[in-house]
Structure 1
Amino acid sequence: MSTALVSLIVGMALGFAGWFGGFGAFLLVAALGAVGFVVGRLVDDGVGLREFLTGRGSERR
């Protein structure tokens, strides 16, 4: 799926949320979309959530 198509879908979802649910729903959809984007990037890069939160440079001794 191309970036333009994904951006179109996200824009439409935000528009519908803003139109039907008001500004609070708009912010909720935008925040959940950002969380979904971060999780998707982590899965695509093969990085676990624990590795992401602790940092890549930290090692256990």
Structure 2
Amino acid sequence: MSTATVGLLAGMALGFAAYFGGFWAFLLVAALGAVGLVIGRILQGDLDVSDFVRPRDRR
């Protein structure tokens, strides 16, 4: 199982704990799943954080 999959499952498991809250819990599951997926991709090396945090060139 890849690191990204583990990250996705971890986010989904955390969101599932809040499942009994209704629609907002659904949104929480989706958000935590996305966060887990992104963290997993970063740890796996498929996503480079520097692409998002480098400063823009000013002219």
TM-score where L is the length of structure 1: 0.49
Q: What is the Cα deviation at residue 46 of structure 1?
A: 6.6
Which residue is 2:27 aligned to?
A: 27
Map residues 18-57 of structure 1 onto 2, 5 A cutoff. Answer: 20-45=20-45, 48-49=48-49, 51-54=50-53
List, as ranges, runs of 4+ consecutive aligned residues in structure 1 with deviation greater than 3 Å.
none
Partners of 2:51 and 2:35 in 1: CA distance: 14
Q: Aligned residues: percent identity? A: 49
Task: Identify if the C-alpha distance between structure 1 residues 23 and 43 changes in structure 2 by more than 3 Å, giving closer, same or farther.
Answer: same
Mapped partners of 1:21, 1:48: distance in 2: 34
Aligned length in residues? 47
Taking only aligned residues, the RMSD between alpha carbons, in angstroms, comes to 3.5
Instruction: State the structure with bigger RCO (CA 8 A, min sep 6), 1 or 2.
Output: 2
- Considering fraction of residues, name the structure with more helix: 1
Task: Specify the structure having the higher radius of gyration (Cα).
Answer: 1
Q: CA deviation at 1:54?
A: 4.2
Letter in structure 2 aligned against 1:26: F
